[in-house]
Structure 1
Amino acid sequence: MRKIIHIDMDAFFVSVEIRDNPTLADKPVAVGGSSTERGVLSTCNYIARKFGVHSAMSTSVAMRKCPDLVIINGRMDVYKSVSDHLRHIFARYTHIIEPLSLDEAYLDVTNCELFGGSATLIAEDIRRTIFDELKLTASAGISSLKFLAKIASDENKPNGQFVITPDKINEFIYSLRLNKISGVGKVTFEKLKTFNLEFGRDVQAVDQSVLIENFGKFGQTLYQRCAGIDDREVQTTRIRKSVGVERTFNDDIDSNEALENIMFDKLIPELKRRSEKYLQTRKIATIGVKVKFADFHQTTKDYSHTSFDKDIFSQLLSEAVERGGGKKVRLLGVHIALSDIDSCGSQNEMEQSFFSF
């Protein structure tokens, strides 16, 4: 029986900014781009969230919802430094650590002997240490299953923690809304509801074959999660699956020719540069284009191919733009998916556990 803790910093970027400038403590604050430059928010504090502001919202929309919102340009070097400190704190409790981002990680504390091996007390001490040394708050979720630990860390935010003991797993899943499970986004959740599947108990009551037939491989995964099955271990190495580059425009673009010029002159050369180290040992599996329209709807087009083929990229762009029905484009991106690492793959093909910290 594993003991897994999911640590998630509270409004990380903006909390660092408020820590370093306490005069912001009682104000709605967000980290993101300028409203005059088509910016997007990275994160915001809980005061701002009361106005309906949230991460990934355009800065201009956020300012309309909260005119007093203080917008701060991010200091990534500072956030990375704080994240590195977090890494060293985590390593005092276990070396089985899987970072998900700068401010979020899984910790397997099964063999940690501190506090009599109590994962609950270990999580409390980690959070206390983070506050003592960094003057920042973190939330934690504790469970024997990886996906439940992540869900649990959101239950008592901010600055709290939640424990799902093995004997309470079935009870918790029974009442769990499916959109809290990783992988169930808005579109998938709406489709699930058309099958009268909204809570864990609903999935428990249907045959697995129904889910697989209508949701493919993810249907099987969802069935297992709702049955309390998650055999995934905390991974200390992570394999890069894709590489991408995208750009948000200062002004919306309605010309395919202009989009092609940006794609071939700017985006694809940068994509090649970023992909170079991975393509020394792996191959391209698919290439793709992402388009976000002026109304914020977005679409992607992918094609199985093993090179940066100009004609295919051009065709993918045309098909993606056509889906917009004449709408202008505010963001354009290109990406590749990387082939799986074979048995001869070297350690250089793998990103070490703290690569993203």
Structure 2
Amino acid sequence: MNDLAADPPRVEPLGDPPVRKIIHVDMDAFYASVEQRDDLALRGRPVAVGGMHRGVVAAASYEARAFGVRSAMPSVSARRRCPDLVFVKPRFDAYRAVSQQIRAIFADYTALIEPLSLDEAYLDVTEDLKGIGLATTIAEEIRARIRAETGLTASAGVSYNKFLAKLASDQNKPDGLCVVAPGKGEAFVAALPVKRFHGIGPKTAEKMARLGIETGADLKAQSLAFLTHNFGSSGEYYFNLARGICHRQVKPNRPYKSIGAEDTFFDDLRDEAALCAELDRISQTVWRRIAEKEIRGRTVTLKVKYQDFRIVTRARSLDRAVSGRAEFLDIGCALLRTLLPTPKGIRLLGLTLSNLTEGDAPQPPKEAQLGFPL
């Protein structure tokens, strides 16, 4: 290892940083589109992935969206808005397989790929592998290849930073392309509602509305001092967004903050054995993802949603990484028991591992290999 003291001091370059070429690719109604592609009977019909008898909509086709059906909407509400809505069971293995196809296409153009989920990613093509040079041309090629190789459509946004590229990808959906050129970002942002800005959630948008901030132009009209006073350390970030400024880099190995899964039950549950059996099933899903990503973590969080939709969470942190799925499940069941018995039915359970570090998959100690009681 080199002696740090021997390294020359880093000198920051003067002037503005070089203009980046960023593409944000977002698949159109991804889960629902895969289902419609694979089942001819679903094409042209309003489709909701998930929901079924209970739970919420995971994704909705554009035919369903025309009726106001949206992801995260309770299935009862979705059915009320669209009586002809067709519910289909999610097939995450199929979605992951298509996502891998799409990422292979991205990799032909750049190594700087930051996936946000199975259906969207940032690409930095400032120095593209094919030497094309024009980000717009690259985005057009990628969209054409996705259509040809997967039978699905994607929308893309092209700009000089991540914030503008993500906004642009939503501008001409579905199957659209939007380019925000250097020097045009501030004007582009001015006309948009702040609730569309990445980094401004529903509660912050509501607070901004109470302060008279509805659009990017309204946000730009506020001073840095005003924004810092009302939004703390985020004030400077919002100040920059209103001017189309974003310094976040495309990070190919974006760290995970947590890994988890949850499920809504067909019928409300109260029995401890039945609830722990459901946690066992959920823990298998979570631990498979943990093993695939070679992640370790110290904090286990249990999420409980009651029949009246009230949500309660309980968490426990260890002074070491959780040793394996058995311990992960054991902690989850122990957290659940602190809420039992319950007079209210439980409609949803979730388990999450956080305080993550990368490394080899954790090996359980010898006594853990004997298993843990439920």
TM-score, normalised with respect to structure 2: 0.76
**Counterpart position of 1:91:** 107
Q: State the shift of 1:120 in Å.
A: 1.2
- Relative to structure 1, is the Cα distance of residues 199 and 39 closer, same or farther in structure 2, using a 3 angstrom cutoff? same
Counterpart contact for 2:302–2:352, Cα < 8 Å: yes
1:109 matches 2:125: yes
Counterpart contact for 1:115–1:122, Cα < 8 Å: no
Cα distance in 2 for partners of 1:70, 1:158 equals: 21
Q: State the shift of 1:267 in Å.
A: 5.7
**Counterpart position of 2:25:** 7
**Counterpart position of 1:204:** 220
**One-letter amino acid of the structure 2 residue matched with residue 167 of structure 1:** G
Q: State the shift of 1:187 in Å.
A: 1.9
**Counterpart position of 2:244:** 228
**Counterpart position of 1:332:** 349
Counterpart contact for 1:96–1:235, Cα < 8 Å: yes
Gaps of 5+ in 2: 1-18, 321-327, 363-374
Q: State the shift of 1:154 in Å.
A: 0.6
Counterpart contact for 1:246–1:267, Cα < 8 Å: no
Q: How do 1:120-131 and structure 2 match up within 5 A? A: 120-131=136-147
- Relative to structure 1, is the Cα distance of residues 45 and 119 closer, same or farther in structure 2, using a 3 angstrom cutoff? same
Gaps of 5+ in 1: 350-357
**One-letter amino acid of the structure 1 residue matched with residue 62 of structure 2:** Y
2:60 is aligned, of 44, 55, 58, to: 44
Aligned residue pairs, count: 333
Q: State the shift of 1:311 in Å.
A: 11
Where relative contact order (Cα < 8 A, 6+ residues apart) is larger, the structure is: 1
Cα distance in 2 for partners of 1:118, 1:80 equals: 29
> What per-residue deviation string (whole Å, max 9, x for no partner) do you get for residues 247-286 of structure 1?
3232335x6xx479836983699289569759998552x5
Cα distance in 2 for partners of 1:159, 1:218 equals: 33
2:35 is aligned, of 10, 14, 17, to: 17
- Relative to structure 1, is the Cα distance of residues 347 and 42 closer, same or farther in structure 2, using a 3 angstrom cutoff? same
Counterpart contact for 1:3–1:142, Cα < 8 Å: yes
- Relative to structure 1, is the Cα distance of residues 127 and 190 closer, same or farther in structure 2, using a 3 angstrom cutoff? same
Q: How do 1:1-357 and structure 2 match up within 5 A? A: 1-35=19-53, 38-112=54-128, 116-253=132-269, 258=271, 262=275, 266=279, 270=283, 273=287, 284=298, 287-296=300-309, 298=311, 300=313, 306=319, 313=335, 329-338=346-355
Aligned-partner SS, 1:86: helix
Cα distance in 1 for partners of 2:220, 2:354 equals: 34
RMSD of aligned C-alpha atoms?
A: 3.5
TM-score, normalised with respect to structure 1: 0.79
Aligned-partner SS, 1:111: coil
**One-letter amino acid of the structure 2 residue matched with residue 292 of structure 1:** K
Deviates more, 1:47-56 or 1:213-222: 213-222
**One-letter amino acid of the structure 2 residue matched with residue 123 of structure 1:** A
Cα distance in 1 for partners of 2:154, 2:295 equals: 38
Aligned-partner SS, 1:157: coil
Q: State the shift of 1:193 in Å.
A: 1.2
**Counterpart position of 1:353:** none
Counterpart contact for 1:31–1:74, Cα < 8 Å: yes
Aligned-partner SS, 1:238: coil
Which structure has the larger Rg over C-alpha atoms?
2
Counterpart contact for 1:294–1:330, Cα < 8 Å: yes
Cα distance in 1 for partners of 2:289, 2:50 equals: 26
Counterpart contact for 2:55–2:265, Cα < 8 Å: no
Q: State the shift of 1:215 in Å.
A: 2.7
Aligned-partner SS, 1:117: coil
Counterpart contact for 2:185–2:243, Cα < 8 Å: no
Cα distance in 2 for partners of 1:54, 1:126 equals: 27
Counterpart contact for 2:279–2:349, Cα < 8 Å: no
Aligned-partner SS, 2:178: strand
Q: State the shift of 1:33 in Å.
A: 4.0
> What per-residue deviation string (whole Å, max 9, x for no partner) do you get for residues 16-51 of structure 1?
22222334322112222422xx14322121111111
Cα distance in 1 for partners of 2:197, 2:46 equals: 29
Counterpart contact for 2:109–2:125, Cα < 8 Å: yes
Counterpart contact for 2:304–2:350, Cα < 8 Å: yes
Counterpart contact for 2:263–2:282, Cα < 8 Å: no
- Relative to structure 1, is the Cα distance of residues 197 and 177 closer, same or farther in structure 2, using a 3 angstrom cutoff? same
